[in-house]
Structure 1
């Protein structure tokens, strides 16, 4: 059940959507036939230990709706209200995404991050509007609109979801309460435009820490999310807290301290950006270096090679962050391996 009524979503977001939210990628059994409850619960606990305020429960990892509900149930039970759980509306069709949103509603979700299916080809702004409104109308949860190049919407407008369309959606969908503004990347103009036009109505987040931790020293940013900031352990929540306290010199010193890791992460993710397909195995490895469960993922998945793993590991050391001393091969087993479905 939602923490607020549909028409209260924006008020709720401005009051409660704060801090840093990263991602949890589900853990699977060794035979990949089911979910790994021990690994999932471990990751939720570790999120809280590291100071994250929320997390996206990643769905685009070849899992069924029934498994996703199990993932949400275990996460919600482990979180016990200490972590905002964000539903990842990234299933195959509009109908399936609406069904998944119902799952999230009844299992403790605080918010929805709206994605668009890989087979959804929007030729006009009206196409984007129709899909978005149909989804928003079908859920009582608040929705975070996601403006990003991955959808291919630059065929419609260079900013990926143009300001006039966002304006129309905000007017017609009262439960859109946040905007994840990466439109037109690598330019930050999409975020600047969104913040300038819409931040008094909805929470406008810059999810990429390298920009958010800089921009947040100039204008108020109450929320960073969602992205793979678990790679830095608890460093991003720590820096964000210093920013909120206006301790900008301390925040900036830590920002520069982790720059070697930031560069290594950017290099490792570069191919994913070109392919318009996030390498979730890479993201899961990043978390594993800092105490998350790790473990195998189902195919299809992008791969991660030894050179990339070592580069990411060594960059953490250069950044003053101590990664696990376990060998890379242990990542593919996970910290809490389970052989098969109980």
Structure 2
């Protein structure tokens, strides 16, 4: 359970959202019929070891609502307050998302990343407000708003969630504690506007690591997440510590050293039509010691050409990827 009341949510966030939050993708057993608990616990332990302060319990995979609740329970139990669990609110309908938020909160999630369903096609920003307000009002969990082109709101405003809409939600919902600033991507104007308008009210996250490392050297950005940075192993939390200590030269040097892995990551098809290839993410994190292993179909695939490129990128960045043969990824480190 969360360690704050609804009225204390923003104070909690100012303290807790200081660092980098990763993504944990649930692993299934070899017969694809249930969660692989040992694999999930392994991934949470390694996220803690790597220095992450939180992790997203990814729901954008083939998983049932009861399984997702159990996934959050396992993750929160293994985290044991060493990092916080982020609920991934992208289920099919508003009603489904309200139910999932309650389940995730009861299971131990402390922060909601608020997304929107693929079949939510609003005709106005007022409709976006109504959906968002209804979900925020239905939970006492802290909420991180998430402007990004993925939702298809760019047709309503270039920033995806414009400042007047965000201001209404911040003023109306005391449990809105943060903004994950990816609106208007790939341009950074909306992200800078959000910081200028709201950094005194809520925590502003710069989740895209190559933007975070640069921008955080000129403006205070306490939180980088949630994002998929496990392909760097422990290095993004380490860079965060360098930036917060004012050691910008070391952060920049490390940024450049990691560039072969970064270019490999962006050189493969990580997303398409608004859906991220979580299997490819899983392979990249497996190279850094995470579990790997089965995801239910339908899922994106990872091909040998991609595995070769990603492994080579990590090697060139000095990240020492596992020596295990790629076939071991498909079984995972804790097969059941």
Partner of 2:27: 27
Structure 2: distance between partners of 1:171 and 1:48: 34
For the 8 Å contact 1:22–1:54, the answer to whether it is kept is yes
In structure 2, list runs of 5 or more residues that go unmatched: none
Q: Find 2:310's aligned residue among 309, 312, 329.
A: 312
Aligned ranges for residues 220-239 of structure 1 at < 5 Å?
220-239=220-239
For the 8 Å contact 1:123–1:155, the answer to whether it is kept is no
**Residue 86 of structure 1, CA deviation:** 0.6
Structure 2: distance between partners of 1:172 and 1:64: 32
**Residue 133 of structure 1, CA deviation:** 0.4
Aligned ranges for residues 1-342 of structure 1 at < 5 Å?
1-269=1-269, 272=271, 274-338=272-336
**Residue 190 of structure 1, CA deviation:** 1.1
For the 8 Å contact 2:149–2:185, the answer to whether it is kept is yes
Deviations 1:186-241 (CA, angstroms, capped at 9, x unpaired): 10111100000011000011100000011111011111001110010001001111
For the 8 Å contact 1:316–1:322, the answer to whether it is kept is yes
**Residue 47 of structure 1, CA deviation:** 0.5
Deviations 1:109-144 (CA, angstroms, capped at 9, x unpaired): 121100101111112101100110000000001100
For the 8 Å contact 2:89–2:112, the answer to whether it is kept is yes
In structure 1, list runs of 5 or more residues that go unmatched: none
For the 8 Å contact 2:91–2:97, the answer to whether it is kept is yes
- Structure scoring higher RCO (CA < 8 A, sep ≥ 6) equals 1
**Residue 15 of structure 1, CA deviation:** 2.0
**Residue 269 of structure 1, CA deviation:** 3.9
Structure 2: distance between partners of 1:15 and 1:289: 32
For the 8 Å contact 1:86–1:110, the answer to whether it is kept is yes
**Residue 106 of structure 1, CA deviation:** 1.3
**Residue 312 of structure 1, CA deviation:** 0.6
Give secondary structure in 1 for the equivalent of 2:332. Answer: coil
The two structures, once aligned, show a CA RMSD in angstroms of: 0.9
Give secondary structure in 2 for the equivalent of 1:112. Answer: strand
Deviations 1:139-162 (CA, angstroms, capped at 9, x unpaired): 001100000010000111011111
Give secondary structure in 2 for the equivalent of 1:109. Answer: coil
Give secondary structure in 1 for the equivalent of 2:20. Answer: strand
Deviations 1:276-303 (CA, angstroms, capped at 9, x unpaired): 1111111111110100000111111111
Structure 2: distance between partners of 1:34 and 1:269: 28
